[in-house]
């Protein structure tokens, strides 16, 4: 995609990506052998070290996008930084298969997709091998869990399947994408009820977790459409529509009051504001709904107020890219 192509909004959002990329070219790449956030209090040093590394993941994504769409001089610099970043992460990070921790690598998987056309075959193959390993480690992780466990039905499985589907698509593994399609259909049937509510909403008594569950499912529809059949797309759409009365203020919900998960209470007691028993703030759903608008027409009428500048550059550009 050349910068001069596309809609006015796409050109504008791409220019912003290029500004962010150029401003961050001098930043060092931070990496960890494993992201450690799931099940860890936000004040824990492991959580904080992971947060530092996550900033580099987003830097690498904008450098990769810059490498593809910037003018030659800037693209050359971005290609170098993005390649270096992908090299160090693919050589250092070793997935445990935990999909919650690995979910933060979604921009990195997209960066591999962006960079392979401008990288050597050897480099691209190495990055793709690393991406496929994320999927394989996820499969290993789930092979050790009983099929009746909650992690087969809730947001854990949603994120696992997004990683799996994207990894297959980026690495050109059609069999992996096809098997993911089967798994997604079965998962969504377990995960979402007839009114669109998720098992996470029921167990956590929190729209925060319903949104968190829907994010990977919507992204699968948008990023890897061949991994989701038409019936499953419709069901995922009902999960997004479940938020409508809460976003419009027709209903309110006090979060986590009846959660069945002790860790929610532990995080509340540790002072994490996300887990306080407060009324749900619709702003939490903004990134989800901004992307969902591009693939689910029924969402558009009640989310018009969300189309503004209050998003991360990556989300704004992806929404512009996906806009029908």
Task: Give domain status of residue 315, yes or no.
Answer: yes
117 and 51 share a domain? yes
Task: Give domain status of residue 139, yes or no.
Answer: no
Give the pLDDT of residue 6.
Answer: 54
123 and 172 share a domain? no
| Domain total of the chain | 2
Per-residue pLDDT tens digits for 182-238: 999 999 999 999 999 999 999 999 999 999 999 999 999 999 999 999 999 999 999
Task: Give domain status of residue 199, yes or no.
Answer: yes
99 and 161 share a domain? no
CA angle 94, 315, 310 (to 5 degrees): 130
Per-residue pLDDT tens digits for 16-62: 999 999 999 999 999 999 999 888 887 888 888 888 899 999 999 99
324 and 178 share a domain? yes
155 and 128 share a domain? no
214 and 102 share a domain? no
Task: Give domain status of residue 140, yes or no.
Answer: no
159 and 200 share a domain? yes
Q: Determine the structural domain holding residue 62 and report its residue range.
A: 1-133
Task: Give domain status of residue 138, yes or no.
Answer: no
Give the pLDDT of residue 2.
Answer: 42
Task: Give domain status of residue 127, yes or no.
Answer: yes
pTM of the entire predicted model: 0.94
């Amino acid at each position: 995609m050349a910068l001069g192509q596309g809609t006015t909004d796409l050109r504008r959002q791409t220019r912003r990506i290029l500004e962010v990329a150029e401003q961050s070219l001098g930043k060092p790449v931070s990496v960890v052998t494993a992201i450690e956030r799931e099940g860890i209090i936000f004040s824990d040093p492991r959580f904080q070290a992971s947060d530092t590394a996550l900033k580099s993941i987003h830097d690498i994504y904008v450098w990769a996008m810059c490498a593809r769409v910037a003018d030659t001089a800037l693209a050359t610099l971005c290609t170098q930084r993005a390649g270096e970043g992908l090299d160090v992460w693919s050589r250092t990070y070793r997935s445990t298969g935990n999909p919650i921790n690995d979910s933060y690598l979604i921009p990195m998987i997209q960066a591999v997709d962006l960079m392979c056309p401008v990288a050597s075959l050897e480099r691209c193959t190495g990055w793709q091998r690393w991406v496929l390993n994320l999927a394989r480690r996820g499969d290993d992780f789930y092979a050790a869990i009983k099929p009746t466990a909650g992690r087969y039905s809730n947001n854990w499985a949603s994120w696992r399947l997004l990683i799996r589907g994207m990894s297959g698509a980026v690495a050109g593994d059609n069999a992996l994408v096809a098997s993911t399609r089967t798994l997604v259909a079965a998962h969504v049937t377990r995960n979402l009820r007839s009114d669109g509510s998720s098992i996470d909403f029921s167990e956590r008594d929190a729209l925060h977790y319903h949104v968190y569950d829907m994010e990977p499912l919507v992204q699968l529809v948008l990023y890897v459409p061949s991994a989701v059949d038409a019936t499953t797309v419709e069901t995922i759409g009902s999960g997004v529509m479940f938020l409508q009365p809460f976003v419009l203020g027709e209903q309110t919900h006090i979060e986590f009051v009846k959660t069945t998960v002790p860790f929610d209470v532990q995080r509340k007691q540790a002072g994490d504001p996300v887990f306080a028993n407060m009324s749900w703030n619709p702003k939490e759903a903004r990134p989800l709904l901004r992307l969902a608008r591009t693939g689910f027409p029924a969402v558009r009428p009640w989310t018009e107020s969300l189309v503004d500048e209050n998003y991360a550059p990556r989300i704004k550009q992806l929404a512009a890219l996906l806009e029908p």
